[in-house]
Structure 1
Amino acid sequence: MLIILANEDKPKDENHIDHIVCSEIPDQDQFPQLYECVRRHMIHGPCGTLNPHSPCMEDGICSKQFPKEFQNDTLPNKDGYPRYRRRDTGITMTIGKYAVDNRWIVPYNPYLLMKYNAHINVEICATVKTHLDARYVRAPEAAWRLFEFPLHDKSRVVIRLAVHLPNQQPVYFAEGNEREALERAATKDTTLTAWFKLNAKNPDARQYLYDDIPQHFVFERNGTWKHRLLGENVVCRMYSVSPSDVERYHLRLLLLYTPDACSSDGLKTVDGQVCQTFMEAAKRRDLLRDDTEYERCMSEVVIFQMSQQLRTLSCVILLYCNPTKPVDLWNSFKAHMAEDFMQQVDGETTEAMAYYAIDAKLKEQGRSCSDFSIPSPTSIPYSFESKTINKEEELRIGQEMYAMLNQEQR
């Protein structure tokens, strides 16, 4: 990523460069978090004589010119890049079995490195002439640039709206800063909680749905919605929620159709009565559909796919789609899901085998048929019975079979 700064913001001398880019190991006692980030992400190699098989080695030389030389001060530009300060401070880090010093540090910005806790190489580029000379500019682009037409544009701003249960908003923090992150989250509203407060204070805002509010209001950095003064070219998106996350899924559903809620309880209020759950409120508002879509889907699979694929699909629907009546789906399609077992056993046992095949797939995801109130069969097919293994008997049989092997087989 190439970022071109305004003239007043460009680094004017070596001191400015040293404030932006660092190529040294920080003091572990004074900056323990930065020290750990540098150790994890900003060490090159090692390569060269320490590790001649490193991927960066070409003809016995590091393609990135590591290790660099020690130098007490940042030097002026060389080939478009300054030579950063790398003092011989005596501070080293142990990477594997190698000890590395400032000569092996990839240039970084301390703020960005600690903020993202990832490898971010930051350098000062004094000129982009070599970058431009390396490109082949064709006639259409040349004409476009000569006429000074815009090279890129953004027609819409995408606003993402939070969807979370009361007091369950996500909190992001760096390891060791949990308390500060919780205190900060407790005092700052999300887009959802700020929307509740906006409706409580501003009656005019109650005419808008949650996903329409960014077209008329702006969410500011202090966590409040303010009246939009310029432009309405925004695209609003609520975060998607899996139907298996039952309460949050129905919260999102209510937000799509309820314009005037002033709190989470207000969102659950239907005909003056506060419902116990968001799911109950959605049902009373007639927002929930039946399982017709899932039935149509499985009916189509019955025609074009085998029983095994139908059982897999039923597991997906149970795990991720939260059907309202899973038992009815089972009763409607259990005969089709058991068809590939019919050549092995009789009719009643085939359904039991289909049941246990589905149950085994669900258990791989930490669920079971009983979680969906699907009744277990009265008979357990042989292939799914739990067998007690007699270890002594199996050992005796194994030793007898081993004794029957010839010399080459052993």
Structure 2
Amino acid sequence: MRYRFHDCRYISASEAVWRIFGFEIHYRTPPVERLRFHLPDEQSVVFNDEDPIDAVIDNPTIGMTKFLAWMDCNKSSEEAQQLLYSQFPTKFVWKKEERAWHPRKNGFAIGRMHNVSPNCGELYYMRTLLNFVKGPKSYEDLRWFDDTLHPTFRAACYARGLLGDDKEYIDAIEEASRWGSGAYLRYLFVTLLMSSAIAMPTLRLTEDELKNYALLDIEACLQRNGSSLRRFEDMPFPESSTPHPTPFTHPSTINYRIPSIFGEAILAPTHEIVELVNDYILSRIPETEKIYFISDEVSKDETNIGVRDLYSTEFLNSIKCSGLPNHELKLKVGAIVMLLRNIDQSRGLCNGTRLIVTDLGSRVIRATTDYIG
């Protein structure tokens, strides 16, 4: 038996009448204006492959982007100077044909800036400033604060107190220095830099320190070849030897791990069941439990304006849903944890990597994959 199917769409009587009378099928309210922004001389340029390069460069519309036109409008309009970039479409309309902003006579629209990762550097910090600086007439106005023209957008954010304090991360490095080797501390510092956790990273070394580090590298190269700087009378010797990694000994918790969970998965229908399983497994480990709390600061993104006033910190900390970590993280030495983000793929520290906790500090957690099968 041969079956025949028709590629068609069924329209009911009510929908047919709706279309016959020409009623609106769909609409969007309120209208959203996408607000693009860019660093100086880094705007996007659209052209065809066959266009002459001279014609592309001399095109006057290159210097008339929506973002630059906003700054030009701030130079002549007092009303524009009272608005943030995201608030601008509520009072002004972008005329694409004229490549300019004009005062809005009717209607309403909201502005939305596209998201930027902190790894984008200056573009990310400029976007942060756009949420706080009203009516800038140039890029320099964005970097101007407290009678000072800051050299970068990042420095301007730091001066305005938008990047937070690095004391917590400095304390974390100092805490790790009590048991970590020099190589481990450098790797921890690199991890903090890659995650954009440190607001204003700096490294200040004196001439003597630079000389000592150079001598340490030379001494290390000589030792790998069975020699030393001490064999050369006219050569200085470093003040301290290169720190060697301390031998790692896994704690006794390796003897009371639960072998049945390796290579198996425990499926749970709800988050409550997940917590019960985690608490049970944690109770089987005879070590002192330590509780860590997530940061309870509301993001300063413009989409979160008013959230701090609507919801209390206690309520936000009580939310338990998929994709959002719990406010409390309970751990013990010997517990098995899983990474939820890529930290260093070259070293196997990726999303989903399982590790065993070996040390619990106040701000630093040390874990290893050496004993994971």
TM range (shorter): 0.3 to 0.5
Structure with the larger helix share = 1
